[in-house]
């Protein structure tokens, strides 16, 4: 904690931050501004996400500081000296000098911080609820939501019964109360902490091989820190027990060699050579004036040592650690942790009685440990079975809480009105009288507990992470690919809508670029990222939708011959279609494709608003409906809110998508009057009553008839 800058003092407590705090603060700002807030509250300007992230990060660290102040101020009321509070990489720590006098006092200090965090979490959730009810800006609600969740998450983590966490201190206090032994209580709870740290580190190693993020590295760091801190707690308890009943007088070297402040530095060297010590109290008429060391004297140039005196170079009385001879040995040990390697021992009249150094303390500890630790009076060895049960429970809960299995939870995402995204020029249009909602899903990698909960919830779906992220594709590349598919789907939606109202559209492409291959899919053995498929069964292939239509039109198990360009050469490979996970869009060969050289020539100009947070082609039907409503003279929406999901092809055919049940929840929450889904996905909504009319459609023409009320 030496690399710390200090910025505040509260009731005599110095508050500072370690340099690592700056690193983690920047990391939190980046993760919130680039990830959490855009995915949770889409549609806001990029500057808004940055401001939200900065405000949330500042308030989050203020929350951590208030947590530590809860510990510190309670400790002061219990008569414990507080040295400082330091914010650092993994949160914060309040430095207490000494230990509470009883288990009850220690419990009150330990629980004060979590109580503050609980109150803060409740307050932020209240602000979020009030903000949503009163229609406050999404930025305010989003920050309050995050702060509520992060404070309660920290509360759960901090209350795990493993030292040095607050829950571990509560466990120690309970064992201390039952066993009447601070040492054994600390050893038990520190053992839980070390075991928990090892489990976290092991989960970190496992996560490095089963997930795509860097959470495994954080688990390793956190596990190492907890194990080391728990061992330090246990060592400190052993040290205190070893020094029980001893005073400073028992450990010091009595009758030290002292020097007068008026002697020259040259004469001081003569005295030091005979005494064979490195530090000497400086006294005048028997009373302490300061301390001089050989290293200080050696810094005086040889030609000045006759003229310079010890008084010129010594540390003054106020700079020397001083201990009374009757001070408790364990309390004196705190001085060495703060102020250096040695202290001068004096009596009530400030006369020097001895010198105490770290080597003296180490010698005393070695002797006491060799003889055996003295037991606390009245110690009771009971409650061990319950303690073991708590250990096992802590490890299971902690492991499940922090381990992220290689799965993804699909949950309802936000719905947005696509008709507000579209601007048509070069042709007369009629404004949409209503809303066309594109529905989305949110993909999150859960911990084991969240995955188990999601597995039993009807509005959640748990799928393999490998079914979402193709092999050899990083999360960043996958997001970029989905963004390109989304942009292409909007162009194709405009073409399909124009054709639906009788306009001529020319569309061209030169093949399908393989952007990724789903692990275990039929094409995994035949195709690789970067291939370009230019023909299927010897028929030219121009765009992605043509490939999807060709494969989906034949039953699973059909063998296709693909003509592929790879590395400047053309070759033929074979792939058999199969039923793939719903996120892979039903029957397919398992590739994530993009049209090469896509060109859509429309008889008008169309512009789309930017939506950086949206990806994938599933909004195609919603855009096609909105554009058709704009181009046609007929009022299709008629003041209603129409939700839709599904891919759209150039000929207007609607393709299957994943997460339809979750999207139905989004549609209902957004106030939709009806929900259009691909025919292949109708069964998913039938199994989960969404609470609104659902219509399955095969193509855009049928979807327009359903919307207009001509056909169901």
Of the spans 11-20, 493-502, 679-688, which averages the highest pLDDT?
A: 493-502
**331 falls in which pLDDT band (50, 70, 90)?**
confident
For residue range 200-243, list pLDDT tens digits in order: 788 777 767 665 455 567 778 778 888 888 888 888 888 877 88
> Predicted confidence band at 494 (pLDDT cuts at 50, 70, 90)?
very high
Residue-level pLDDT at 703: 93
pLDDT tens digits, one per residue of 124-165:
999 988 988 888 888 898 899 999 988 988 888 888 887 888
pLDDT of residue 690: 67
Given 3-state DSSP classes, what are the helix, strand and coil percentages for the chain, each rounded to the nearest 5?
Answer: 50, 20, 30
Q: What angle do CA 227, 400, 161 make, to 5 degrees?
A: 45
Q: Residue 392: helix, strand or coil by DSSP? A: helix
pLDDT given for residue 1 in this prediction: 43
Condensed to tens digits (0 to 9), the pLDDT of residues 359-376 reads 888 888 888 877 766 555
Give the catalytic positions in this structure.
68
Q: How confident is the model at residue 190 (pLDDT cuts 50, 70, 90)?
A: confident
pLDDT category, 264, cuts 50, 70, 90?
A: very high
Q: Is the pLDDT of residue 582 over 70?
A: no
CATH 3.10.580.10 in the chain is located at 248-371
pLDDT at 252 over 50: yes
How large is the C-alpha radius of gyration of the chain?
Answer: 36
Q: Which fold has domain 248-371?
A: CBS-domain (3.10.580)
Alpha helices in 345-446, H assignment, sequence order? 358-371, 384-402
How far apart CA 682 and CA 453 sit, in angstroms, is 25
d(CA 310, CA 154): 55
278 vs 259, residue with greater confidence: 259
Helix (H) or strand (E) holding 110: helix 103-134
DSSP designation for 439 = P
CB 488 within 8 A of CB 513: no
Q: What pLDDT score does 4 carry?
A: 67
Distance CA 539, CA 616 (A): 27
* Whether the Cβ atoms of residue 696 and residue 681 lie closer than 8 Å to each other: yes
Strand-pair category, 253-254 with 352-357:
antiparallel
% of the chain surpassing 70 pLDDT:
86
SS3 248: helix
The Cα 526–Cα 5 span in angstroms is: 58
Sign of CA dihedral 177, 179, 181, 185: negative
Q: Which two tokens stand for residue 460?
A: 């959640």
User: Distance between CA atoms of 400 and 411, rounded to whole angstroms?
Assistant: 20
- DSSP secondary structure code for residue 261 in this structure: T
DSSP 309: B
Helix extents (H) in 4-102: 19-31, 37-40, 46-77
**Tokens matching residue 33:** 């501004």
Nearby residues of 45 by Cβ (< 8 Å), 6 or more positions away: none
Most confident range, picked from 334-338, 388-392, 522-526, 686-690: 522-526
| Closest by CA position to 670, among listed 295, 368, 418 | 418
At residue 212, the pLDDT reads 46
Whether the CB-CB separation of 517 and 592 falls below 8 Å is answered with yes
Cβ atoms of residues 522 and 574 within 8 Å = no
- Residue 282: CB atoms within 10 A of its CB come to 26
Strands 587-588 and 578-579 come out as antiparallel
DSSP lists the bridge partners of residue 641 as 435
Confidence of residue 583 (pLDDT cuts 50, 70, 90): very low
Average pLDDT over residues 458-483: 70
| Structure confidence at residue 5 (pLDDT) | 67
pLDDT at 379: 47
Establish how many alpha carbons lie within 13 A of residue 140's alpha carbon, considering only the half-sphere containing its beta carbon: 12
Looking at 58-62, 135-139, 618-622, which range is the least confident one?
135-139
Q: Where are the alpha helices (DSSP H) in 299-349?
A: 310-313, 329-339
CA–CA gap between residue 541 and residue 537 (Å, rounded): 10
Q: What is the mean pLDDT of the chain?
A: 82
Q: Please give the average per-residue pLDDT across 474-498, as a whole number.
A: 81
Q: HEC states along 437-487?
A: EECCEEEECCCHHHHHHHHHCCCCEEEEHHHCCCECCCHHHHHHHHHHHHH
In angstroms, the CA 157 to CA 173 distance is: 18
Nearest to 640 by CA among 667, 619, 662, 620: 667
């Amino acid at each position: 904690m030496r690399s710390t800058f200090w910025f505040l003092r509260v009731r005599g407590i110095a508050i500072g931050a370690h340099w690592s705090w700056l690193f983690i603060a920047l990391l939190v700002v980046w993760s919130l501004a680039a990830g959490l807030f855009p995915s949770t509250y889409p549609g806001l300007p990029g500057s808004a996400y940055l401001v939200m992230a900065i405000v949330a990060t500042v308030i989050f660290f203020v929350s951590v500081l208030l947590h530590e102040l809860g510990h510190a101020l309670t400790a002061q009321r219990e008569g414990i000296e507080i040295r400082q509070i330091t914010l650092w990489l993994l949160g914060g720590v309040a430095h207490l000098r000494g230990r509470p006098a009883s288990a009850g006092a220690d419990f009150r200090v330990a629980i004060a911080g979590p109580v503050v965090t609980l109150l803060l979490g409740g307050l932020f959730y209240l602000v979020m609820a009030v903000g949503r009810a009163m229609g406050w800006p999404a930025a305010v609600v989003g920050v309050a939501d995050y702060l509520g969740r992060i404070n309660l998450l920290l509360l759960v983590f901090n209350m795990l019964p493993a030292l040095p966490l607050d829950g571990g201190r509560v466990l120690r206090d309970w064992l201390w109360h039952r066993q009447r032994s601070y040492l054994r209580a600390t050893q038990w709870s520190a053992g839980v902490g070390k075991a928990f740290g090892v489990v976290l580190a092991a989960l970190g190693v496992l996560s490095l091989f089963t997930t795509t993020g860097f959470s495994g590295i954080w688990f390793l760091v956190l596990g190492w820190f907890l194990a080391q801190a728990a061992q330090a707690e246990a060592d400190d308890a052993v040290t205190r027990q070893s020094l029980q009943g001893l005073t400073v007088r028992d450990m010091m070297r009595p009758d030290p060699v002292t020097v007068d402040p008026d002697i020259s530095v040259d004469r001081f060297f003569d005295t030091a050579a005979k005494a064979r010590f490195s530090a000497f109290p400086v006294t005048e008429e028997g009373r302490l004036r300061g301390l001089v060391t050989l290293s200080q004297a050696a810094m005086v140039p040889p030609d000045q040592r006759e003229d310079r005196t010890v008084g010129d170079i010594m540390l003054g009385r106020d700079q020397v650690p001083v201990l009374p001879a009757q001070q408790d040995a364990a309390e004196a040990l705190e001085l060495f942790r703060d102020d250096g390697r040695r202290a001068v021992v004096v009596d009530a009249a400030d006369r020097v009685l001895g010198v105490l150094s770290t080597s003296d303390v180490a010698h005393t500890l070695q002797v006491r440990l060799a003889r055996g630790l003295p037991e606390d009076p009245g110690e009771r060895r009971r409650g061990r079975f319950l303690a073991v049960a708590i250990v096992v429970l802590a490890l299971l809960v902690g492991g499940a809480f922090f381990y992220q299995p290689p799965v993804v939870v699909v949950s309802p995402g936000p719905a947005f009105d696509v008709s507000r995204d579209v601007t048509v020029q070069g042709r007369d249009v009629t404004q949409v009288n209503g809303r066309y909602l594109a529905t989305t899903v949110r993909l999150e990698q859960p911990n084991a507990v969240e995955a188990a909960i999601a597995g039993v919830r009807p509005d959640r779906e748990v799928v393999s992470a490998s079914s979402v992220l193709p092999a050899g594709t990083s999360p960043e590349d996958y997001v970029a690919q989905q963004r390109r598919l989304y942009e292409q789907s909007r162009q194709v939606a405009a073409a399909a809508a124009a054709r639906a109202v009788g306009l001529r559209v020319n569309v061209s492409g030169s093949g399908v670029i393989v952007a990724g291959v789903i692990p275990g899919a039929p094409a995994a053995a035949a195709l690789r990222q970067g291939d370009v498929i230019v023909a299927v069964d010897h028929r030219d292939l121009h765009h992605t939708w043509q490939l999807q239509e060709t494969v989906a039109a034949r039953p699973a198990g059909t063998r296709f011959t693909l003509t592929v360009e790879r590395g400047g050469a053309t070759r033929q490979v074979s792939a058999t279609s199969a039923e793939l996970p719903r996120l892979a869009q039903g029957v397919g060969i398992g590739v994530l494709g993009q049209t090469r050289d896509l060109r859509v020539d429309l008889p008008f100009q169309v512009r789309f608003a930017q939506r950086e947070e949206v990806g994938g082609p599933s909004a195609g039907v919603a855009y096609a409906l909105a554009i058709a409503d704009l181009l046609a003279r007929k009022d299709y929406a008629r003041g209603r809110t129409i939700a839709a999901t599904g891919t759209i092809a150039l000929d207007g055919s609607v393709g299957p998508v994943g997460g339809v049940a979750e999207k139905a929840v989004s549609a209902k929450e957004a106030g939709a009057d009806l929900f259009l889904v691909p025919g292949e996905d109708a069964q998913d909504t039938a199994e989960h009553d969404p609470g609104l009319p659902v219509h399955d459609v095969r193509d855009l023409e049928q979807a327009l008839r359903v919307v207009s009320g001509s056909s169901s």
